[in-house]
């Protein structure tokens, strides 16, 4: 499946309009001051907040899919993702657990965390496990809101290595980050959110 994302006149009373294309297997980074509308933009793309306009995933229009079906194809990973069960394992289908264990190892997490209680996880552990929860679903596109904000430099490098592999396999990323160096070396396109509108980064 062609996983390019084409955003056409995406807007709401609070933000936009947005017009851009993110090619398959590439990363668009979104930077900007806190409160400028970066997370709102991701939520609009994911169809979680009210919006108008159209988005295509390859040749598939968002309007042709139900909202849950769209979100299974274009997965949003919040800066602080929700957990609806007390234990981590309940958030993974049995068929996903071997891949989750492999990713946990690659991201520097001990395998026993997959059987831990969510309440006992650190912020950085929850952040990486939230990303793993999205990665094991093998969606064509990911919307990542500050996916490494709570991590140390070594852990950030491990996350970025996995994301590069996914892009090489065709996954498309839109990533909010406050780290200019991360934007510089991971993203293929860079934009800045100012007053809830996007402009090219200098």
- Summarize pLDDT for 104-127 with one digit per residue, the tens: 999 999 989 999 999 999 999 999
* Burial 41-68, CB ≥16 within 10 A → b, else e: bbbbbbbeeebebebbbbebebeebeee
Question: In whole angstroms, what is the distance from residue 6 CA to residue 134 CA?
Answer: 21
What is the gyration radius of the CA atoms in the chain, in angstroms?
Answer: 16
pLDDT of residue 202: 73
Name which of 109, 88, 110, 107 is nearest 97 in CA terms: 88
pLDDT of residue 188: 97
Q: Is the pLDDT of residue 138 over 70?
A: yes
Decide if 174 contacts 14 (C-beta within 8 A). no
Q: Is the pLDDT of residue 2 over 90?
A: no
Number of domains observed in the structure of the chain: 1
Question: In whole angstroms, what is the distance from residue 107 CA to residue 150 CA?
Answer: 13
Domain of residue 61: give its range.
Answer: 5-200
CATH code for position 196: 3.40.50.300
Task: Write down the pTM of the prediction.
Answer: 0.96
Q: Is the pLDDT of residue 1 over 80?
A: no
Percent of the chain whose predicted confidence (pLDDT) is above 70:
100
Q: Is the pLDDT of residue 128 over 70?
A: yes
Decide if 147 contacts 127 (C-beta within 8 A). yes
Decide if 44 contacts 27 (C-beta within 8 A). no
pLDDT of residue 197: 95
Question: In whole angstroms, what is the distance from residue 176 CA to residue 192 CA?
Answer: 10
């Amino acid at each position: 499946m062609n996983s390019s994302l084409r955003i056409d006149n995406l807007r709401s009373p609070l933000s936009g309009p947005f017009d851009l294309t993110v090619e398959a297997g590439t990363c668009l980074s979104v930077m900007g001051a806190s409160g400028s509308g970066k997370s709102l933009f991701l939520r609009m793309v994911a169809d979680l907040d009210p919006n108008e306009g159209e988005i295509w995933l390859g040749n598939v229009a968002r309007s042709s899919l139900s909202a849950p079906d769209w979100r299974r194809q274009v997965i949003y990973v919040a800066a602080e993702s929700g957990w609806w069960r007390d234990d981590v394992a309940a958030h993974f289908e049995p068929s996903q657990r071997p891949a989750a264990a492999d990713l946990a190892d690659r991201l520097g997490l001990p395998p026993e965390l997959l059987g831990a209680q969510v309440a006992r996880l650190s912020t950085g552990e929850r952040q990486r496990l939230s990303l793993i929860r999205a990665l094991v679903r093998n969606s064509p596109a990911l919307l990542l809101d500050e996916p490494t904000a709570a991590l140390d430099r070594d852990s950030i490098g491990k996350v970025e290595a996995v994301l590069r592999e996914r892009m090489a396999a065709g996954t498309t990323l839109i990533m909010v980050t406050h780290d200019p160096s991360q934007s510089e070396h991971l993203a293929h396109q860079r934009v800045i959110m100012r007053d809830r509108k996007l402009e090219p980064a200098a």
